[in-house]
Each structure stands twice: as structure tokens, then as C-alpha cells.
Structure 1
Amino acid sequence: MRSFSARPPIIRIANGTFYRHHPNNAVSHGHPNPPFFSKLNFELPSQSTPTSPLRNWCIVGPSLSGKTTFLQILAGQHLCFPPTARSFPYLATDDVPHHLRVPSRAIQYVGFDATGANGGGLGPAASAYLAARYESRREKTDFSLRDFLLGNMQLNPSSVPGEDGVDAKVLERVVVDLRLESLLDLPVAFLSNGQGRRARIARALLTRPEVLLLDEPFMGLDPPTVAGLSPLLHSLAEKASPRLVLSARPQDPLPDWITHLIYLRTDCQVGAMGDKETVLDGLRKYVRGVWNGRLSEDETLPVHALGEMGRQLTKDGIEGEGLGEELLGESNDNAQVDEVSDVRPEALGEPLIEMNGCRVRYGDKIALGNWTEERDGKLAGGLYWTVRRGERWGVFGPNGSGKTTIVSLLSSDHPQTYSLPIKLFGRSRLPEPGSGQLPLTFWDIQSCVGHSSPEVHQHMPRSLTVRQVLASAWADTFRSKPALDDNAVDKIEATLKWFSHELNPAAGSSLKPQPTSLDGLAHNSLSWADNYMFGELSFSAQRILLFLRAIIKQQDIVVLDEAFSGMDDAVRDKCMLFLVCGEEKMYATGLSKSGTKSHLPTEAPVVPSHVANSGAVMVKGLSDQQALICISHVKEEVPDCVREWICLPEASTSLPARLGRLDGPLRTDSKRWREIWEASKSS
């Protein structure tokens, strides 16, 4: 019989408690310093044996539960008490190459918070100004994707690219598996959001770490890319090269090869840990017990966050039902949202955006509009698209198909806006002879477009306070002085109060209900909004703040580019309701539509808010004078008010864009979602 010599684990945590700052030191600005994951016990094995098979871990939890913090703790970050409670015994053995014997090299964390800090960022590309990715001119710092993958991101490197041990065969395999072959010679600043995510994962794999920590790796990726990336990660996990630990939101489908789960409570403590089926079964019993009234709901384990948890991502797609869907015996009945879905008004307004044959090219490469189609009996090339006041559009398509390019054209970030047949608000960017109209300036457009996107997230100054980020909606640039009148100040105050729990890091570690009276709202101190900086917020809170910044001024066009990614379902639904109704409506999470107690979001009715009843509403929802443009790869992250849609094809094909109209919300019917994507494939 073959004998196995036991090897120590890569990561061992025994009764460890973690802090951001030393618990004996006073924290500046009075910021709280609560302990994270008190008396945590966790081990990541270095090998699989007959008695201890390979474990593939996924960290799951709602917003503010500490998923990113948990991964950072595994990577050796944050203070551990006692200091000896966290160790990396396997890294001290002769089985590990010398250059990987420190956690900072052996354990690679790849996050997608747009900052690049300890997250596998794209280097100098992250500091480029917003329009740089769309220009044809190449700067010295415009390193190619090939340079990035080889680690050549310095003007005067101390070593030749490739000297850090990047194997040519491994490079070729990773590039093919992650569909990066056609992008190798492009500057990293030119990559789309989804392409940049794949590039970060590829770079981390090429460093050949012992452990790869992936923070919500499927966020922002189109369905075909997710379908291809999951098997690749599975093959890596099977070979334990490297060992993988993922994180996910409760509503995200779990890859079917995940074997073990850690479910986090909202107070940054572990709620359940163990093999996947045992954890899911325990959570299922908890949901049933609370729903049936046999158990009291733990405010740190909100039941509404568990409604969609439990679905699986397989090679054939998403399968199974969430815990809430199992309990209700039906799939996603969101009828209460239909009541406020704000469908298109009877009389549409004038065109706000007119694209009449737009074709964006960089040299020989066509990035948008690479097709010819028949229009009015004649062949015409490029994108034809009109957006009118009152319309609610969804823009879909694979990563790299040109979705963000469209946004850059209408927001005037793209230099080719001046030379393409585009009209915004009925006017061109250049003087039109005989029209008698002045051309639109960049500032004219910026003042009329509210915009949230990964690009805005990347460039938002981390040193701005929470209040300053919201106020910048009335400013010409992120840092310039906003032109605030009394109405604008009142809107900012009302919005901060409405989302104080989601935005204030010190609001409490457990989920608390919204204030039940106007007085409760009024007496909430907002000093935290002046004390906390944007960079101090969690990823989810940053996304919420940027979403609010995009809608608070109620500009003519609201662009939400992956605005809801990174939020758990409860926070996402609150934001979507605020988008349509503002302060006028709220979810009554304590009552079901039948009047009985409810704990699932699918059962929570929408009711008039106490602010509306008092007549003190300052922020209203979308009006029939505004147009909405939403970009997403996940149907649950498309607001229910969206009715018009456009789906772009792969940029390398000559297929035309497809346009259509929905007969209802996307997230309540998977068939509608499949028809959009399948139509684009079969065109």
C-alpha cells in the first residue's frame, strides 16, 4: 500500500482575531475598529490525500459582510491577535521554490475594485485619464497586454521581460483559455472592463502562485465568458495549481466544482463553515424555520439575503433554485416591482441621442459598427440608434463588443465623437453651416448626463469625502467646486439619510431596518459623510455612492454601466426602487402581500414611504423627460423599467446589432434574457 507523508497546510488560522488597526491605538477621526472574524479557525491544505480530498472553497456573504476582508486575511493582511494564530507552514518547506516562501508572493489576491491596490490592477493604465483608452496615439506608458502579462510595465526595467519565470507554453495556454490572443498587442488602457478582468486573472496565473484568491471573479463578465472561465478555474482547482479560493454574493450561482463554503454574517463573523451541502442544508433549515415562525430571525443573518442562494453554475448553464425559490415553490415572482416598473410613457419626447451610421475604428481595427445592413432600401454601414426622452434602454453584448464605446460617444469622452454622425440633444459637436446653432461643448454634455461605470469608479479620487462625491454631480470635474443651490443641498442630505446604513461604515455591523418615521430620518447625524473618504468605503458602498451620484441631479440622460455589480440582492433592489421612485416608495420587508410576516424579497410589497406621507420628498424617481441607458451582463441587474434593448455582436464579426422591445421585466423571465443573447448569436 502506498504511503502518504502529510504536508502542513498552506494557511493555518487557529483562534485568530483580526483588526484593521492596532486595538490599543486610537483611530483617527473616531473611525470604528471592530474585530473581524473573532476566534477564527481555518486551514487550507497543501495537498489532497485519500483521507482528506481536495477542498475548493468559496466565501459567500451579503454586502458589508467582509468577503474581501476575509480573502485579504488569508493573504496575510490585517493585524492578527495573537500574532502566532496565523501561519503559513507549508511555505517554509523545501517543496516550495525559494522565491515563493513569503505570503506576499505565494498568495496572489485578484480583486476587481478598480483601484488596482493589492488587486492585480493594470498598472499605469489605471492612472490614465478617462478618454485615453479611445485614442489612436500611443504614449510611452501605453504598455501592451503582452507587456503586462510578462511583467514589463516600467520604462526602465531592471530585468528583461520574461526573466521572472513566465513560461512560454504556460503563457500560450493561459492566453488561449482566457480568450486574449487577439488583444496581446493592444495597450492595456484600450481593454474593456471584462477584458481587463481576464487580463488580471491571466497575470496572476503566470506568476504561478501557490494560492490564488479571486474576489467575485465572474462579476462584470458576459455569459459566454463566464461559461468558458468556470471550466478553466475548475481545471486549475483539480490540479491544485494553484489552489483557488473564490468569493461570491449570495445571489451568484456557485460553480458546481466548489466543495466547501463559508457563509459570512453581516457583522463580519462566520455564520457557517463546512462542506457545501452541509452549509446549504443548514441555511435551508434556518430559512424555513424563520419563514414558518419556529425560529427568530438573527439580524446578522438576514433571510432576505438567502432567497437566491444555492443555484449552481454548470457547463450547461445555471441550474437549480435558490433557497427562497424552493420555499415558495415558484421562481422569482417579483410582481410587486411591476407595480412601479415605470414603463414607457404614451407620448415619447424628442430624440436625445441620434447615431446615424457610427463606425469607430482604430487603424484597421473596427471596434463598433463593423456591419452593413439594409435601411430604407439601401445598404448602410455602422450603428443606427435613437434614444428619446422617456425611453428605458438596455445595452447588451459580449465583452469587447463596443458597449462602453457607445457610452464614451454619448458622454463625449471619445475623441471620434467630433467626426462621427452623432447628434446629442438635437445638436452636433461641430458647427453646422446654416443651422444657426452653436456646437455642443464638452461641458454642455457633461452637465446633462449622469454616469456610473467601472471607468468612473476607477478615476474617482479616493480622497473625496462621501458628501463630496455626491456633490460632484453638480461640478465640472471630480475635484472642481460644485454649483450647489438649496435644492441640490437638500437632495444630497435626503439621499445620505435614505442610504445611511449602506454608506456609513459605522452605521452598525448588523442589518438594521429603515427608520419608521420622518423624525427618525431627520435625527440621523450625517457627520460621517464628511469624515469618511470614498477610498475607505467597501466596494459595495462605493458602487452605491456612484450610482446615487449618477441619478441625484436628475439629468436628461442617466447611464448605468454595470452600476449594480458588487451589490447583494437586497441592496440592489433598494437602489433599483430608488431609481424609479426616489423617496416616495419603500419595501415593507416586515409584511407580505397577503399581510402576513415576510422575510423574503420576493414577497415584500412596495408601499408609500413615511417621507412621502409627510409630503417631504426631495428626491423623486426617473421622470418621463429622462432617458435611461443600462449596461449589464446579469439579468437581475437590469432595472425592471427597461423595455427597449440593443444587443451588439462580437466586434470581430460582421453581424449587425439587434434591437427589440420587452413585454415585461427581464429579471422575472429567463426566456426574455435568453432570446436577447440567442438572437445575437444567430444573426
Structure 2
Amino acid sequence: MRSIPTRPPIIRIANGTFYRHHPNSASSRPNPPLFSDLSFELASTSNSPRNWCIIGPSLSGKTTLLQALRGRFLCEPPIARSYPYLSTEEVPKRLRTPQKAIEYVGFDAEQTGGGLGGGVATSAYLSARYESRREITDFSLRDFLMGNTELNPMQTEPSQDEATISPDLLSRVVKDLKLEPLLDLPVSFLSNGQGRRARIAHCQVGSMGPKEEVLDGLKKYVRGVRKGGLTEDEKLPLHSLVDIGRVLPSSASTEASGNLGEASYKELEPINPKAEPLVEMDGCKVQYRGKIALGNWTQQTTDGSKDGLIWTVRRGERWGVFGPNGSGKTTIVSLLCSDHPQSYSLPIKLFGRSRLPKPGTGQRPLTFWDIQSRIGHSSPEVHQHMPRNLTVRQVIENAWSETFRARPKLDSEAKEKVEAALRWFAPELHPSYSSASHENLSWADDHMFGGLSFSAQRVALFVRSMIKSPDVVVLDEAFSGMDDAVRDKCTLFLEQGEVKTYRGEEIIESDASKSGQVKIPGLSDQQALICIAHVKEEVPDCVREWLCLPEANTGRAARFGRLEGPLRTDENRWHEVWGF
């Protein structure tokens, strides 16, 4: 009986050691091995689809491993890493390099060259996404998916092997991922969630092989996201996972809540009417070329009804802002941070003042710098534009800067806060942390922001947003990409500062509090919090008011509500927010 020939593996690593820089480099930068004597094979065929899941805590190297598999980082010896299957005749010539054959989609894709990855530049500054002017580099989503992102493309006919993307395949992918209405928009106009769906679509239309199973799974995922909930993958049941000896539950544990709170289509009555309003939106409607991006509804008020978003945030309030992808969550953030050009013309007051006061009042205009000095902000957009060549210390000190590159204005109290934050989050920020080096903070001057893991970068940006105790703290998906332990440490720090800490799963008083050495307090009654999240676990427990935006262009009004307890531990409250 003739044996069936076996196909070579897609990836083969045999006792390879990986470095970020050449090990013999004279550079003074730290360069420990990323992986030592690593061996791994990814088969090109199997009797059933093979799905791998890489699990580990922050700083364990999950993303680094994926990057090594796709050809990044230096491998010693060089022949230890190979891609045998890509050299066979079964693979089209255009896909015979790992950079072409292996597509990567991740939260850190903006670090690989542009907000959508793949070298597509989305914007040079935060406001560019919302401006009407189109640059020559503002490629549309259709161009991005078709690979037409070269400024001076060569006018050559593709060979049969390198045929252009099938229109039928493109049509199906964009339909399944709900991207059809966005095809002619510049990629810089896409929301964070839409951008991630676009990256997934780019991987699908540019790869080879059958896609039906993947597309069907993605279709279910997108439907779940649009409805505010996700269903469990039947082929990968969560109860089959075991993590360090404990079985992970297949569904979130819930607590029965006696009172779900209140929800309505009109703005809530404030609990403390005497508290100073910090943000006032009185009928905001954002539109581009006739298309309404936010406020396409009529909202009930105590005086009747009014078009657009009516929303007030007062000192001491803790708000959660929710809604489907593209509903306008990040647009709201851009308005209150004054990154949006229309913030000058819309009926918005920040800290009791309008951007452009009425003529003759003698009131001084509220400048961009006035606003930035009183708002702490962490978001994927800030993450994308934060310079990678700043040190860890410089990123946190940047909270006292007027721009990303400006020199911070630090007094002795600010310097003490920075030192305290670096010590508190050393296990999450220091790539080579050990308890013996806890007091030595020289690592914060040696390690660059761009060399940190994605999770560590998010931690640094979170600390930057709240360390100077601004009047308003805005967290737009600030905890996405962190593992559970790091996320919980950050949310506790947000509420308690250095006063409380975790001992296992128990919250206890910290040594800094016992000794009276607390430098960074948690949120005070004089501050407001605005948090945007897609999963309830990323909503701080202190959030008590919520705003849920409708899907774009449905005409339905925004919904408001008040919570009686934390969202994280109560599935029923989460369903109430989304209107289930």
C-alpha cells in the first residue's frame, strides 16, 4: 500500500533563541533573550482544523511569540526558524514569504505602521480623523482591503498566480463583517471597533485557502458585538480550558441583583444638583457631508424635546458610556477633549465655559491648553500617537506636558508622584522585574515605551491619565489588552490610589497607607470619571451612571441609567444597560 506523502509544516522552529537586537551589538540597551532554545512546529495539514490559544499573564511574551512566528526578531542560529511549506508549489508565489503568508490582527496593530497596520498611515495627529479635508494619503477602506495603498503604484499586470482579489470574496467578507456602508470612507474615519473589523477583513481577502468556517465564526461574532453580547464558540468550549490548576468557568458567575437601577430616554436627574457641571452638552449633533455620526435622535427633556445629545457630567459622578461600534462613543470623547473641530460650534460647555463665548460678554475663550490641563485621557488614539522613543518615566511625566513632545513642568510633589507610580507598577512596567530591584528605578530611564509589551504600554498610559488628579478622567478602552490581574490592579488604583492593594484576591490596606506615605490618592469627590468599555469586566466598580448610544442612523434615542452596584459581577445589570 502506497503511503500518503506528508506535507512539510508551515512553521518550524528547532532550538532557536530569539533577540530583539543583535546579541553582539555595542548598544547599551537591555537585550535579554526573548526565548531560549525554543522548538515549535505548526502543521500545514491535519484531520480537523487546528486552533491554538496562547495563554499567559502580562509580560509573559504572548504577543512576542506571535511576532517571532511571523518572522520578526533575530533568531540564533538563523536556520533554526524556517517556513518549509511556503516554499512548495502549493503556495502561490505572492505568499511565499512569512510577511505575506502570515497575517496579524491584534490590539497593538497600530505599532506596526499605522492605525490599521500594514503600513497604512491613518492620521498624523488626534484631530485629523474628524477633519473634512482629505489628504492624498487618506486611502479609503476599499483601497485598504484591495491593497491599493501605494502613492506611486507600478502599472503592471498581475500574473495569473498573483491575480487580484476576487470581487465575490471581497463582497462576502465586507458583508459578513458589516463593513459595506464604510467602504468609501477614509480609513482614518473608522472607529476603533470598525478598524479592528477592517484588519480582520484585510487578512481574509488577502489570504489563501477555504474561509467559510472562519467567516461563519466572524459573522456570529460581529452579530454578537452589535447586540452588545457574545455567544460562546461551540467548537471551543471554555470549560475545556485549564489555567494553572484551576478550571475556567464556561460562563460568567452572576449575582442576583434586587434592584437593577433605573433607565430612561432622557437625561438623569443629578443625585447632587449642587455639584458643579464639568461637561454640558445641550443638543449636540455631529455630521459630515450630510451623514450624522452622533445625535441623530430627538431626546426628551424637562422642557419638552430637543434634537441631539443632551448630557451633563458633574463633579463626583462616575459615568460609563456604552454602545455598538460606530455609535459615536469616541466622538463624544473627542468633543469633550476638544480634539474635534466641531467642538467650537456645537452647544458644549466645559468647566462652565464655551469654547467661543458670545461677543460682548467679555469672557475669555476656553483654549485647548485650558482643557488639556484639566482632563486626563487614555485611549487607543493616544496610544497610537504617543512617541515610542520616550522612556517609561517620560511617558508618565508627560501628564504635566502640553503636548506629547513638550517638556513637563514638574514640581517636587509631581516628581514624588511619578516615583511612587513607578514603584507601584514596577511588576507591570519593568520588563525584567524582580523583587530585589523594587527600589531601584533606573529601569524607567533605560526602557523605551516602544519596547514595552502592549499591556505594559496600556498601564503606562492609564497612569499618565490619572496621576495628576485632573478634574475629568476619560478612559476610552483603557484596559483592553490587559490580563485580569493587571486590569483589576489598575481599576483598584483608580478608585483607591496607594491606599488599598491586592493580597491574592483580597483587598487590604497598603503599607504606604499604614505608614502615612501615600503620594497618589484615588478619585476624589471633586473629580468626574467617564469610562468607555465593551465588556463589563473593564468597567470600574465605582461607575454608577451610564449612557448607552444607539446604533448609528437608526433614529433611536440614547438611553440613560443609574446603577445600584458594580457591573462586573452582575450579568443582569449589564443586560439592562444594553436593553436586553
CA separation of 1:226 and 1:525: change in aligned 2, threshold 3 A: farther
Residue 571 of structure 2 is aligned to residue 645 of structure 1: no
Shift of 1:76: 2.1
Question: Distance in 2 between the 1:430 and 1:228 partners?
Answer: 37
Q: Deviations over 1:277-307 (max 9, x none)?
A: 4xx35x47x34xxxxxxxxxxxxxxxxxxxx
Cα shift at 1:209 = 4.6
How much does 1:106 deviate?
1.4
Q: Which residue does 1:69 correspond to in 2? A: 64
Q: CA deviation at 1:373?
A: 3.1
Matches within 5 A, 1:392-431: 392-431=318-357
CA contact (8 A) 2:122 2:138 kept: no
Match of 1:660 among 536, 542, 561: 561
State the alpha-carbon separation in 2 of the partners of residues 377 and 616 from structure 1.
50
> Aligned equivalents of 2:53 and 2:417: distance in 1?
40
Structure 1 distance, partners of 2:87, 2:222, is: 40
- 1:600-658 deviation line (CA, Å, top 9, x unaligned): xxxx2222111111111111000100000000001000000000000000112100000
Residues of 1 paired with 2:86 and 2:363: CA distance? 69
Contact 1:116 1:126 in 2 (8 A): no
Instruction: Decide which of 442, 455, 461 is 1:540's aligned counterpart.
Output: 455
User: Unaligned 5+ residue runs, structure 1?
Assistant: 231-252, 262-275, 288-308, 312-318, 322-329, 334-343, 590-603
**Which residue in 2 is equivalent to 1:338?**
none
* Consecutive unaligned residues in structure 2, runs of 5 or more: 257-269
- CA–CA distance in 2 between the matches of 1:160 and 1:153? 15
Pair 1:112–1:612, CA change in 2 (3 A): same
Distance 1:612 1:351 in 2: 32
1:9 counterpart residue number: 9
1 CA distance for matches of 2:345 and 2:545?
A: 27
Partner of 2:41: 43
Does the Cα contact within 8 Å between 2:57 and 2:483 map onto a contact in 1? yes
TM-superposition CA deviations, 1:421-462 (whole Å, max 9, x none): 110111001122454421201110010000000000000011
Change (3 A) 1:420 1:227: closer
85-94 vs 546-555, greater mean Cα deviation: 85-94
Say whether 1:155 aligns with 2:184: no
1:363 is the counterpart of 2:361: no
Match of 1:92 among 78, 87, 96: 87
8 Å CA contact 2:17–2:33 kept in 1: the answer is: no
Match of 1:239 in 2: none
Q: In structure 1, how many angstroms separate the alpha carbons of the residues matched to 2:522 and 2:528?
A: 12
The verdict on how the C-alpha distance between 1:39 and 1:659 changes in structure 2, with shifts beyond 3 A counting, is same
- Please state how far the C-alpha of 1:358 moved relative to its aligned partner: 0.3
Q: 1:118 to 1:13 in 2, by over 3 A?
A: farther
Q: TM-score w.r.t. structure 2 length?
A: 0.89
Q: Secondary structure of the equivalent of 2:399?
A: helix
Give the 3 Å change call, closer, same or farther, for CA 576–469 of structure 1 in structure 2: same
Q: Deviations over 1:385-420 (max 9, x none)?
A: 000000000000001000000000000000101111
Q: How well do the aligned residues superpose, as a CA RMSD in angstroms?
A: 3.1
Q: 1:473 to 1:645 in 2, by over 3 A?
A: same
* Residue 32 of structure 1: how far off its partner (Å): 4.0
SS in 2 for 1:567: coil
Q: 3-state DSSP class of the match of 2:126? A: coil
Superposed counterparts of 1:451-600, under 5 Å: 451-508=377-434, 524-589=439-504
Cα gap change, 1:369 to 1:222, in 2 (>3 Å): farther
- Specify the alignment match of 1:627 in structure 2: 528
Shift of 1:79: 3.0
CA displacement at 1:100 relative to structure 2: 1.6
The answer as to whether partners of 2:17 and 2:76 remain within 8 angstroms in 1 is yes
Task: Determine the C-alpha separation between the residues in 2 that align with 1:618 and 1:445.
Answer: 25
CA change 1:125–1:82 in 2 (3 A) is: closer
Task: Say yes or no: does 1:173 pair with 2:133.
Answer: no
Aligned 8 A contact 1:165 1:207 in 2: no
Give the aligned residue type for 1:185. D
The 5 Å alignment of 1:169-248 reads 169-209=168-208, 224-225=224-225
Deviation string, structure 1 residues 103-141 (Cα, Å, up to 9, x no partner): 221112223315341795164543421101111222222
> Is the 2:283–2:308 Cα contact (8 Å) retained in structure 1?
yes
- Classify the secondary structure of the residue corresponding to 2:312: strand
TM-score of the pair, normalised by structure 1: 0.76
Cα 1:90–1:485 change in 2 (3 A) is same
Residue 266 of structure 2 corresponds to which residue in structure 1? none
One-letter code of the match for 2:170? L
Residue 108 of structure 2 aligns with which residue?
A: 113
Question: Partners of 2:419 and 2:395 in 1: how far apart?
Answer: 13
Cα distance per residue 1:12-52 (max 9 Å; x no partner): 233333333344x256335141341x443332221233xxx
* Distance 1:32-1:140 versus aligned 2 partners, 3 A rule: closer
Partners of 2:113 and 2:119 within 8 A in 1 = no
Note if contact 1:27-1:33 (Cα within 8 Å) is conserved in structure 2.
no
Question: Does structure 1 residue 21 correspond to structure 2 residue 21?
Answer: yes
State the alpha-carbon separation in 1 of the partners of residues 156 and 320 from structure 2: 46
Paired residues, number: 558
Kept in 2, the 8 Å contact 1:348–1:389? The answer is no
Q: For 1:363-398, what per-residue CA distance to the aligned partner results, in whole angstroms no more than 9, with x for missing partners?
A: 110000001133335331100000000000000000
Q: Residue 115 of structure 1: SS of its match in structure 2?
A: helix
* TM-aligned CA deviation for residue 201 of structure 1: 1.3
* Residues 100 and 222 of structure 1, relative CA distance in 2, 3 Å threshold: closer
Give the 3-state SS of the residue equivalent to 1:126 in structure 2.
coil
- SS of the residue 1:58 aligns to: coil
Q: Distance in 2 between matches of 1:651 and 1:409?
A: 17
Assess, with a 3 A threshold, how the Cα gap between structure 1 residues 167 and 229 changes in structure 2: closer, same or farther. Answer: farther
116 and 526 in structure 1: CA distance in 2 versus 1, 3 angstrom threshold: closer
Deviates more, 1:25-34 or 1:642-651: 25-34
Rounded Cα–Cα distance in structure 1 between residues aligned with 2:223 and 2:193: 11
